[in-house]
Amino acid sequence: MKTKNDNNIIEVFAGTSLDAAIVNSLLEDSDIKTFLKDEFMGSIAPWQVSAGGAGAVKIIINSKDYDKAKLIIEKYEESRK
């Protein structure tokens, strides 16, 4: 199991390009620096992007922001139900 320290980057979200854009915006609004991985695949071929699966757009953050990001993402996912 990885330990959290200030020098690690971690994936906190994977989903469609639309969901990733919304979550990314929420994280950035909370002063969490993000990096989108595979975002162009989600734009070029969105029909091949499955939420959280192969081809999904991923959000990467610094591990020190994990706890804060986790709460934001959980709140977003709960609002979608």
H or E stretch at 15: strand 9-15
Flag whether 13 is in a domain: yes
Flag whether 2 is in a domain: no
Q: Global pTM?
A: 0.75
CB 20 within 8 A of CB 39: yes
Work out how many domains the chain is built from and give that number.
1
Q: Helix, strand, or coil here: 4?
A: coil
Flag whether 1 is in a domain: no
Domain of residue 53, residue span: 9-79
Smallest Cα–Cα separation from 57: which of 11, 10, 26, 25? 11
CA distances from 15 to 12, 26, 36, 41, 70 (A): 10, 15, 11, 12, 15
Tens digits of per-residue pLDDT, 15-64?
A: 888 899 999 999 999 999 999 987 655 455 555 545 544 568 899 999 99
Residue 69 binned pLDDT confidence (cut-offs 50, 70, 90): very high
Give the CATH number, domain containing residue 71: 3.30.70.1530
